């Protein structure tokens, strides 16, 4: 690694190397944020400068959000007549104002999408019911309007115009960022404290897409957005995944084979979490606030660590396949206080399936495998052979229609794959691309299958999954 890295510009060497190596093979684009702390030896003066700059940028995003709300602006072009005015109000340069605009537009796009989902859900509910009232309270709020959000800083993306990442020959820090200041022509150099792993990842990156300055507690971090290329694995099979509380990841690889059913469990996650909870409760009774303060994030960190390790283990066991993960999101959304199922709700609330599913998808993508989330509504109560209703019998289930008996998770996994293929078959590719959970994955998947040298019958199955 040498020379100067330029944000959002292509870093010459690695890209060429990756492309040549891959030849005609299909490449996935992988975006990843490297979270590098700002050096601990950064002076108070510089830190207070960062405070002022990020506060000013947050203010600019807020002003943009107001304009967007008042005038219904949707695109960058809609916004351009107001740029001058906002430059004047905030005292920021044109580039900074445009970066704030992009953030505000992105926040609004997210909001509009969430609102559309909510409207759809509301139109399905019966007015006057408990569920309907619950939904009314859940209307997504416009960005930057809730009183809580006024305390938070909103990070904006720095690009070549406002900040660069440079390799330095300083002994104390091998990596620095240089950012524009509020004064014209003046630049500020901030030392970073990257780990060896950060530097390795950076050297492998094909492209740098800018960075964000983020404050966590009292510390600043630079989130470097890196683009990587990963070689796609040819698809030979489809795997259905069922996430659970006790059996963390159950999966079935199709075509069926007696040994294709696999289970992964958290060895001692729940035990460890309960231990921590007990300790925290004990300290609360003793009113040891200082110790409690130190433990504040421990529970989350422990849980995240278990999830990451498990996702990694699962991804390591996959090869040449598509993975469909049953997503219980809708189920949790429909569980609300007062629905009569207190215990079930509690289990769902404490279970981090969403984080686990996302981590799995990320780890799969690093290996060149596509994972998608699919609403698993009904999969655990329908027979995968005949579609009949299932009755629970301990850990197993019995079909009331055909009388077959299966392992509960095994049935769910197969059913997820079946449902995913029929659902996707009836959707156009454009509609799928619009769907948030499959964004971008569909085209890559279709290309992967076409060039995969897959057996014809399996190709059919796989194409059903992407609607090709
Ligand atoms: Zn059946």
Question: Mean pLDDT, 10 residues at a time, over the chain (468 residues)?
Answer: 36 37 63 90 89 92 91 87 91 92 92 89 86 86 77 86 87 89 85 92 88 89 89 80 82 74 78 85 89 83 88 88 79 58 62 83 86 79 83 83 84 83 66 58 64 59 58
Output the CA 254–ligand 1 centroid distance in Å: 19
Output the CA 143–ligand 1 centroid distance in Å: 48
Last-in-domain residue among 231, 250, 278: 231
Output the CA 125–ligand 1 centroid distance in Å: 31
Output the CA 353–ligand 1 centroid distance in Å: 28
Distance between CA atoms of 374 and 413, rounded to whole angstroms?
11
CB 344 within 8 A of CB 391: no
CB 376 within 8 A of CB 328: yes
CB 302 within 8 A of CB 252: no
Output the CA 57–ligand 1 centroid distance in Å: 59
Q: Is the domain of 373 the same as that of 446?
A: yes
- Number of domains the chain contains: 2
Output the CA 392–ligand 1 centroid distance in Å: 13
Output the CA 380–ligand 1 centroid distance in Å: 12
> What's residue 12's pLDDT?
31
> What's residue 64's pLDDT?
93
Q: Is the domain of 298 the same as that of 154?
A: no
Q: Is the domain of 69 the same as that of 204?
A: yes
> What's residue 338's pLDDT?
57
Q: Is the domain of 286 the same as that of 330?
A: yes
Which of 459, 467, 465 is closest to 234 using CA atoms? 459
Distance between CA atoms of 313 and 317, rounded to whole angstroms?
7
Output the CA 416–ligand 1 centroid distance in Å: 15
Within 13 A of 358's CA, how many CA atoms are on the CB side?
Answer: 7
Q: Which tokens is 184 given?
A: 């014209």
> What's residue 285's pLDDT?
92
Last-in-domain residue among 231, 256, 289: 231
> What's residue 190's pLDDT?
92
Q: Is the domain of 297 the same as that of 435?
A: yes
Output the CA 426–ligand 1 centroid distance in Å: 24
Distance between CA atoms of 135 and 142, rounded to whole angstroms?
16
Output the CA 252–ligand 1 centroid distance in Å: 18
Q: Is the domain of 218 the same as that of 308?
A: no
Q: Is the domain of 207 the same as that of 245?
A: no
Q: Is the domain of 347 the same as that of 458?
A: yes
Contacts of 252 (CB under 8 A, 6+ apart): 239, 240, 260, 261, 262, 410, 413, 414, 417
Find the helix or strand (DSSP H, E) in which 413 lies: helix 408-425
Q: Is the domain of 245 the same as that of 356?
A: yes
CB 245 within 8 A of CB 329: no
Range of the domain at 178: 4-231
Output the CA 456–ligand 1 centroid distance in Å: 29
> What's residue 332's pLDDT?
58
Q: Is the domain of 134 the same as that of 190?
A: yes
Beta-strand (E) ranges in 255-363? 261-264, 321-327
Which of 371, 365, 359, 439 is closest to 30 using CA atoms? 365
Q: Is the domain of 358 the same as that of 390?
A: yes
Q: Is the domain of 52 the same as that of 130?
A: yes
> What's residue 339's pLDDT?
57
Last-in-domain residue among 164, 198, 231: 231
């Amino acid at each position: 690694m040498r020379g100067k890295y330029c944000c959002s510009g292509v870093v010459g060497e690695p890209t060429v190397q990756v492309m040549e190596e891959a030849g005609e093979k299909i490449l996935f684009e992988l975006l990843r944020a490297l979270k590098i702390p700002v050096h601990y030896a950064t002076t108070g003066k510089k830190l207070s400068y960062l405070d002022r700059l990020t506060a000013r940028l947050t203010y600019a995003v807020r002003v943009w959000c107001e304009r967007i709300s008042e005038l219904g602006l949707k695109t960058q072009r809609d916004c351009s007549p107001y740029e001058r005015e906002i430059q004047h109000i905030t005292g920021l340069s044109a580039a900074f104002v445009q970066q704030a605009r992009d953030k505000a537009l992105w926040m609004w796009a997210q909001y509009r999408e969430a609102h559309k989902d909510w409207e759809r859900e509301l139109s399905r509910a019966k007015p006057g019911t408990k569920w309907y009232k619950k939904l009314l309270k859940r209307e997504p709020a416009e960005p930057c309007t809730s009183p809580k959000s006024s305390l938070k800083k909103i990070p904006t993306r720095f690009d070549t115009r406002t900040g660069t990442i440079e390799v330095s020959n300083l002994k104390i820090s091998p990596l620095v960022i240089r950012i524009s200041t509020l004064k014209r022509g003046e630049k500020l150099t901030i030392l970073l404290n990257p780990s060896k792993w950060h530097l390795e990842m950076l050297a492998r990156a094909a492209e740098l897409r800018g960075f964000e300055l983020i404050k966590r507690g009292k510390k600043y971090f630079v989130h470097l957005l890196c683009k990587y290329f990963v070689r796609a694995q040819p698809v030979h099979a489809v795997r259905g995944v069922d996430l659970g509380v006790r059996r963390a990841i159950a999966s079935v690889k199709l075509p069926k084979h007696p040994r294709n059913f696999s289970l992964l469990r958290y060895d001692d996650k729940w035990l460890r979490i309960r231990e921590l909870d007990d300790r925290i409760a004990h300290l609360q009774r003793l009113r040891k606030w200082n110790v409690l303060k130190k433990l504040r994030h421990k529970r989350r960190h422990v849980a995240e660590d278990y999830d990451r390790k498990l996702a990694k283990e699962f991804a390591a066991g996959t090869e040449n396949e598509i993975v469909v993960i049953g997503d219980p999101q809708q189920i949790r959304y429909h569980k609300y206080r007062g629905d009569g199922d207190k215990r079930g709700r509690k289990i769902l609330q404490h279970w981090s399936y969403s984080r686990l599913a996302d981590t799995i998808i990320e780890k799969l993508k690093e290996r060149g495998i596509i994972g998608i989330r699919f609403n698993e509504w009904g999969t655990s109560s329908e027979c995968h052979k005949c579609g009949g209703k299932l009755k629970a019998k301990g850990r197993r289930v019995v079909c009331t229609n055909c009388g077959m008996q299966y392992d509960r998770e095994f049935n769910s996994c197969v059913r997820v794959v079946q449902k995913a293929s029929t659902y996707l078959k009836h959707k156009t590719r454009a509609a799928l691309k619009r769907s948030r959970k499959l964004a971008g994955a569909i085209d890559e998947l279709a290309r992967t299958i076409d060039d995969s040298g897959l057996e014809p019958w399996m190709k059919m199955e796989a194409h059903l999954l992407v609607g090709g």
